[in-house]
Structures are given as C-alpha cells and as structure tokens.
Chain A
Amino acid sequence: MENFYSKLKQRSFWRSGVVDVSPLALADIYSKKWTINPEWEIGTAGSCFAQHIARYMTQNGYNVLDVETAPNGLKPERRQAYGYALYSGRYGNIYTTRQFRQLIEETFAPSPQEVLIWEKDGRFYDALRPNIEPSGFATAQEVADARAYHLERLRILFCNVDMFVFTMGLTEAWVHQRSGRVVPIAPGIIAGGETAPDYSFVNFSYPDVVADFQAAMAVLEANRSKPLRYLLTVSPVPLTATATGGHILTASTYSKAVLRAAAGFLSDNNDNIDYFPSYEIVTNPGNRGTFFAANLRSVRSEGVEVVMKSFFAQHPPETPHPGPASKQKKAVVSTEDVQCEEALLGAFGK
C-alpha cells in the first residue's frame, strides 16, 4: 500500500541519506535553482567561512569581483592582514544580516553617514571594520577618508554584480545605541574600549534576520538596473563566545538555527535566492566531528573540500578544480588561513 513516503528518493530518508552513505560524497544534498552564467560578475561577503567560498570560486574560474584591490607593492602574504583579497570589497567579515543591510544602506545613502571611530593607544579604527588595519590609522580623518573611498568602491560593486554570495554567521551583535548601527565585534576587543557604554548587546531573532536581508535586497533593487541573484549559506563554524550569559552550546545552536531557518525561508520564497547547504555538509553527524579541527570550531581543509566539491558538482567550474595534491589547493583551505576577528573572543574565556 502506498503512502506519502513511498515514492520519495533515498536522499529523503535518514538511513539511506545519511547513515549508509559516505559523508565525503553526499548525493543530491544540493540541487541548484539556476545555473551560474560564466559571464556573471559575482560578489562575496559574510562571516569567516565565506572566505573559503570566495577563494575557491575565484580559483575555479568564476568571475568574482574585487573592487578594492591591494596596492601593487603590498606582498601577497600581507594583503589579508589588511582586509584585502578576502571578499569583493574591503569590508572584513560581515557576520550578521543587519551588518549587510546597513552596509548597503550606507553605500547608497544620499548623504554621508557619521563614521563610527574607535581609538586605542593613539590610533584610530573604523568600528564597522576594525580588523582591516591591524595597527589602526594615524588620525580619525584618515579613517573617514578610507571609509569614503570604501563606499565609493562598493557602489561600483553593488551596481555591477549579477550574483551575490552571502554567508550568514552570527545573530549576536553590539549596537551603537545612538546611531542604531551594529559593529562586527564588541568594543574593547580590538579597540574602542572606552566607548563600550555607548553600545548594547542584541541577539537577532528569526524575524530580524529575515527582515534585514529583505531590506538589503530592497535597497539594492532600488539602486540597480539589472536583476540580482543571491546564493545564501550558513557558516558551520560555532560561536566562539556568547554575550547572552547562557551556555555557549545552546547560544550557538540558537544562532545557527535562526540563520538556517531564515536562509531557508528566504530561499523558499524568492526565485532569485538559492540556499547552499555548507552548514549541513560540515555538521553532518556522519562525519563524527572529523571536519572540525581540534578546537571543534575551525573547519578542517577536508571539510571545506567536501563542501566545495558539492557546490561544484552542481556548478561545474570554468577551469578544472585543482587535484588534492596541488599546492594551490593547500594554500586555499588551511583552517588557519582565514581572517576572523570573532576568534579573538576566545582569549576572554577563563
């Protein structure tokens, strides 16, 4: 006798979809919504894990834009320390959809917004991307000049991209109370300790995450003349610390659940948004935790490789993917080879 489950594929059952298959090659876990045209210009942003996706796409022939390249004479191995060559712009990690929204709103704002500046030891930092200058700027004016240039470049990016890859990372953030803007890391970790009273903690809910992303899309649509597609992913990297006061495991699970649900909702309800399950591929119980490094947070190179293999199975690269023994691949997937200021919070653990 038939029932609703009788004609479903093997992938739809836990045993045949997860238990009995290799976690290194999950069949049918991702079916693309649309084909990525090789001519498309692609933008990338998100939490630390997004750096892997951006680099893999670039090295596999996708036309990933970088509108804010490093000066020619800055050694390649020094570029990431200054926030270059990580994403399509020098915005650093964008952990929350609120950050993404406010960046796009600021990019297209009719008049310049106040620049949030942090100070430490006589040096000045852009509070919205404090990690791009490890030693800060010499003056507050330099921060403002660099931000104006950054936004000028981002207008080019956001007006030209055909597809944007965004990796959602966190729900917890710190809000500057007067301006309502969120910063990527709590004041005082990198700089700006004396401004801490100006900030309050927020843990974004599912409606917040969805609404922020929709608002970002609306601003982009209003300022562009061609369609834009989005590829959403959720970072599998757990939180380093929670400011909720609760247990880090429940806090991390909450954040990831909210982000995963929001990404799913956005994808289910918009033809131009596709969801790619990097989160599921890495956290699959079939891996028995082996995709995580010893700190149980960083994703090991093997995990990144499996994630990207699943992606390229649906979106074959323009140029062949380098083999496992290649030097290039090794350079791409090192677990330590990402810039992640959120990891600094770990230093505060007792």
Chain B
Amino acid sequence: MKRICIFGNSHVGALKEGVDSLNRQGALNSVDITIFGSHRDSLKECVVSDGVITSDSDFVRTNFRWTSNGQETVNVADFDEIYVVAGQSFFFVAPFLTRSHLPPLSDTIIEDIMTHRLDGWDMHLARAIAEASPQTQVTHLGEPFFSDEHPRSLNFLREHRRKGGQMPARLDKVQAQLDSKAQEIETENFRIAKPPEQVLEPNRVFTRHELCKDSIGLNEDRDIPHRSDDYFHMNVKYGEMVIRTLVL
C-alpha cells in the first residue's frame, strides 16, 4: 500500500474533506493517506532535521497531532510520497499580474519573478524534505489558485475578454515558461505540480468558484464553514478532484 503524506496549512482542509469522502466511497483502498496541517504560515517554523520534520512551536505540534491522529513530527522516510500544500502555487499567475491585467513581459522578467518565487520558504522546506529521504517523492503543490469570482479575478477576466487575442498570448508565454522552469528544477524525487485542469476555469488562471462554495475550515472539534466571501479555501469537491488526479 502506498503511504502518502499531505503536509500543509489550512488549505489541507479541502484535501482532508476529499480524503474522507473518497474513503467513504471506498476509493482509497490502495493508499494510506496521513495529513499534517497547521494554520496560516506557522509551517515557516518547521525544520527538517535527521530525516524528521519538526517544529519548536507548540501550536504547530498540536495541530500536527490532531490532523495526523497522534503524530507531532513527520518522519519523512515513512512515506512514499509527500505533497506540500503551503505557499502560493508556483503555477499561479498572480505574481505576473499588475492590478488587473497581465502586461507583456520579457522572458527575463518572468525568470526574475520565478527565481524569487523559488526562493520562498515553502519551496526551501519542500526541497529540504526531499533531500531528507531520497526514496520519498516530494511534490510542491502549493495553495489553490483563488476563485474566479474574487474581485481581482473578475477584473482580470474582464480585461482578458476586452483584449481579445493579446492576453491569451501573454498568458501562454508565462505559462509555457513556468512549465519549462518546473521541468528544469525537477530532481529524482522533487517536483512542482500544478492543480488538475478540471479545477480551473478555461484560462487556467483561477479556480472555478463552484469549488470554493461551502468550504469547511481546518478545525479539530467541529466543522466551521469558511465565510461566504472567502475566495481562497476550497471545498470537498476540489479535494476529491485533487486527490483523484494527483495522488491516485
């Protein structure tokens, strides 16, 4: 049985919901999935030492304990695959946008932005996890792209339509360079993955809003729905789609 770890911030909530739902459907018989979650950017305080992801923070250890059913640290070698769901997805185009649109960007600016992105704490942590156990496949998935009904998304999509052919060409260029960079930095056991196509709107820039509705927060005791204007956390359907596409 494949042992899988999903390690991340509050966005693991959607994946946990997805895992629970798929378990109920009997769809996860060939995998054993353990989730380690801790809210906001508390994972910044994690370090990888002697093959174990640990944290000095009581907050993080407590969260790990209840999300994983009892473990305060992550022994990397215990897993065949680890998915890191923290930090912005490398494939999210928001860093390339100005307020409401995508300007034409040179390859050097795109490279500059990607380099900055790859220098983020979440990327460093994901790589450190991969280095800790060569037989464990580590994937940086990052947080979901935000909903296509977020006000900034709506502005962008409006501009996108208004510009006709120009914006798709600009977008294609950025996305092609992101794909190429992701391949370039891939190692034997480290890769960066993008969200599955089916969770995204047709431009592949934002998550379909229906996957954002009725999302549930990552809470130990009870199910607390996210606010109705939360455009960032996704729901059980999203979690199912991601697990089915990337993990199974």
Contact = CB atoms under 8 A, between A and B. Distances in A.
A74 B109 contact: yes
A82 B116 CA distance: 15
For the residues of A in contact with B, the DSSP-based class is loop
B116 A69 contact: no
A72 B109 CA distance: 11
A71 B106 contact: no
B134 interface: no
Interface string B101-129: 00111111100110011000000000000
Interface stretch (B14-22, B25-33, B91-99, B139-147): B91-99
Contact of B109 (A68, A69, A71): A71
Nearest to B117: A73
Could you say which of A73, A133, A134 has the most chain B C-beta atoms within 10 Å of its C-beta?
A73
A71 B95 contact: yes
Contacts of A145: 104, 166
Chain A interface residue number, banded = 20 to 34
Nearest to B95: A73
B107 to A, nearest CB: 5
A109 interface: no
Nearest to B169: A145
Interface string A69-95: 111111100100010000000000000
A74 B104 contact: no
A70 B103 CA distance: 9
A71 B104 contact: no
B112 A133 contact: no
Contacts of A142: 104, 106
B103 A138 contact: no
Contacts of B108: 133-135
Contacts of B103: 68, 71, 146, 149
A30 interface: no
A137 interface: yes
Could you say which of B96, B109, B116, B117 has the most chain A C-beta atoms within 10 Å of its C-beta?
B109
Contact of B106 (A69, A70, A78, A133): A133
Nearest to B101: A149
A41 to B, nearest CB: 16
A75 B95 contact: no
Nearest to B92: A73
A134 B106 CA distance: 11
Nearest to A78: B112
Nearest to B107: A138
B98 A149 contact: no
A-B pairs, 5 with minimum CB distance: A73-B95, A73-B113, A145-B104, A135-B108, A69-B98
9 contacts: A68-B103, A71-B96, A73-B94, A73-B95, A133-B106, A135-B106, A136-B106, A138-B106, A145-B104
Given A71-B98, A74-B113, A135-B108, 19 more contacts: A68-B103, A69-B98, A71-B95, A71-B97, A71-B103, A72-B97, A72-B98, A73-B117, A74-B109, A74-B116, A133-B106, A136-B106, A137-B106, A138-B106, A138-B107, A142-B106, A146-B106, A149-B103, A149-B104
Interface of B: 94-99, 103-109, 112-113, 116-117, 166
